[in-house]
Amino acid sequence: MNNCGISRWDDPAEINEKLKKLTSQEIWEVDDGYYTSVVINYFNEKCKASKDVYEESQTYIPGGVQHNLAFNKPFPLCMTKADGAYLYDKDGNKYIDFLQAGGPTILGINYPVVKEKIIELLNECGPVTGLLHEAELMIAREINKHMPNVEMFRMLGSGTEAVMASLRIARIATGKKHVIKIGGAYHGWSDQMVYGLKIPGSRALLESHGIPSSAYRYTDEVRPNDLHMLERMLKRNRLRGGTAAVILEPVGPESGTRPIALEYNKGVRELCDQYGALLIFDEVVTGFRVAMSGAQGYFNVVPDLTIFGKVVAGGYPAAGGVGGKKEYVLLMAAGLATGKHRAYVGGTLAANPLSCLAGYTAIQEIDRTNACEIAGRMGDRLCDGLKELIDRYGLPFVAYNQGSIVHLECTGAMSFDFSSMYFIKSALSLLKHKHMIYERKDSMERMGAAYMANGIVTLAGSRLYTSLADTPEVIDEALNRFEEVFRHVKKVNGKPCVHYI
């Protein structure tokens, strides 16, 4: 396949076996001496300007940061410059950037060609007029060129909004009520989708505070990579208003943190057809990252609707949209369709010329530069190097990747599973283990701090996105820095182990 970023597909059973071992033993993390004398010292001595910003921020911003991903232990760093594979903080320290803005910038951060097009556009017409701009057509046509299943595309303001829109469409199209998501998956922060976040089987118990239970009354979750449970849920829903849609990330929940079998998506497609539900692929992370044709191209499965985010604005704001089969996408038609029975969507600044042109230019550049394949190759190199280090230092950590999405699980904080059709069973089990999960999460963030102090930015200490800007030299330098951290990792006696559930 042309410009494909995935060169191999690991057996999920093998990865899960390793994750099971990881969570069944005590936590391993950088020892206290290293953490205080090196990590904390680095932040206090070398990052004073960031610390000043953060200290004042706490007065004006809840939690001191505006973005969930920006909080890093022991305090967030304030970034002032971004260039390709690197970030620079306010004190001038340089970092290898494996966050890549949370995934959208597969071309490397602050990619010049996109930037230049945007500057031209700003000089011409500014970021937004509220009226039709040709860039809206250009991006829709460009997406269709690479993903023919996306016959039509509506640009919205974010992935969260796109998911909300798709669920509305699915309910109108099928006349059914329930939506099934895969446990642990993130599909944005709308009321119905915060259900079952992060940990499969967690339902409303972890993050749904402030959301009335009626909002997720028709949301169900099933165990990742489990077609039997999905079918049982589809059967059950037949008696309760039917299933309008199954929504999933095609590489597995949380960008593949929970690995799936290669044939899983085909199985879901068959079940959706059998039970009359739409299949929605959330390609917010995978679209134009794992392949030009997205994960749907890689798995050769045609979804009814596709959710886009991140990359469709090329790393610029207002990134999101829904595309798919004409008959469904037409259900949210604007303009001429006003007054008809339709899924209402909107957003004052959505689909502005800036985000459309940035997305269009970025997709063209990803194609021209073969970015998916190159970033994928660098992901393989990083993952292989991490595996070699893990073996050499005798650590229980687990590294695996889906091309340019690399996972480094040091504590297994995300690896629990409380999925069960029986609510009481899941809830009791989760409540019993909740503090241990948080302890592991805390330890994962401590590892993240150690990476940061060694000049590596990760997503929460456990996920790494590679980009076109990563050369073999950048990856090898990153591996040297990981080695420096791994040399100081010890088993922490007394830090609780959990039996994998």
Contact residues for ligand PLP, defined by CB under 6 A: 102, 158-160, 163, 186-188, 249, 282, 284-285, 309, 319-320
Of the pair 89, 282, the CB lying nearest ligand PLP is at 282
Of the pair 255, 293, the CB lying nearest ligand PLP is at 255
Q: How far is the CB of 290 from ligand PLP (least distance, A)?
A: 12
Q: If 0-12 CB within 10 Å is exposed, 13-18 middle and 19+ buried, where does residue 368 land?
A: exposed
Are the beta carbons of 159 and 282 closer than 8 angstroms?
yes
Are the beta carbons of 55 and 47 closer than 8 angstroms?
no
Of the pair 290, 450, the CB lying nearest ligand PLP is at 290
Of the pair 182, 450, the CB lying nearest ligand PLP is at 182
Of the pair 22, 280, the CB lying nearest ligand PLP is at 280
Where b means 16+ CB within 10 Å and e means fewer, 160-196 reads: bbbbbbbbbbbbebbebebbbbbbbbbbbebebbbbb
Of the pair 127, 347, the CB lying nearest ligand PLP is at 347
Q: How far is the CB of 285 from ligand PLP (least distance, A)?
A: 5
Q: How far is the CB of 286 from ligand PLP (least distance, A)?
A: 8
Alpha-carbon gap, residue 437 to 386, rounded angstroms: 24
295: CB partners within 8 A, 6+ apart: 249, 250, 251, 265, 281, 283, 286, 287
Are the beta carbons of 311 and 359 closer than 8 angstroms?
yes
Of the pair 201, 320, the CB lying nearest ligand PLP is at 320
Q: How far is the CB of 165 from ligand PLP (least distance, A)?
A: 12
H/E segment holding residue 87: strand 86-89
Q: How far is the CB of 183 from ligand PLP (least distance, A)?
A: 14
Q: How far is the CB of 157 from ligand PLP (least distance, A)?
A: 8
Q: How far is the CB of 410 from ligand PLP (least distance, A)?
A: 21
- Nearest-CB residue to ligand PLP? 159
C-alpha distances (whole Å) from 390 to each of 33, 37, 274, 487 are: 21, 24, 44, 10
At 154, list the tokens.
């509506």
Q: How far is the CB of 310 from ligand PLP (least distance, A)?
A: 6
Of the pair 111, 281, the CB lying nearest ligand PLP is at 281
Please choose, from the candidates 458, 446, 457, the residue with its C-alpha nearest in 3D space to the C-alpha of residue 488. 446
Of the pair 34, 281, the CB lying nearest ligand PLP is at 281
Q: If 0-12 CB within 10 Å is exposed, 13-18 middle and 19+ buried, where does residue 336 land?
A: exposed
Q: How far is the CB of 465 from ligand PLP (least distance, A)?
A: 11
3-class state of residue 391 by DSSP = helix
* 3 state SS for 30-42: ECHHHHHHHHHHH
Of the pair 163, 371, the CB lying nearest ligand PLP is at 163
Are the beta carbons of 362 and 311 closer than 8 angstroms?
yes
Q: How far is the CB of 269 from ligand PLP (least distance, A)?
A: 19
Are the beta carbons of 386 and 482 closer than 8 angstroms?
yes
Are the beta carbons of 255 and 462 closer than 8 angstroms?
no
Q: How far is the CB of 35 from ligand PLP (least distance, A)?
A: 29
Instruction: State the sign of the Cα–Cα–Cα–Cα dihedral 349, 352, 356, 361.
Output: negative
Of the pair 71, 393, the CB lying nearest ligand PLP is at 71
Instruction: State the sign of the Cα–Cα–Cα–Cα dihedral 110, 457, 390, 24.
Output: negative
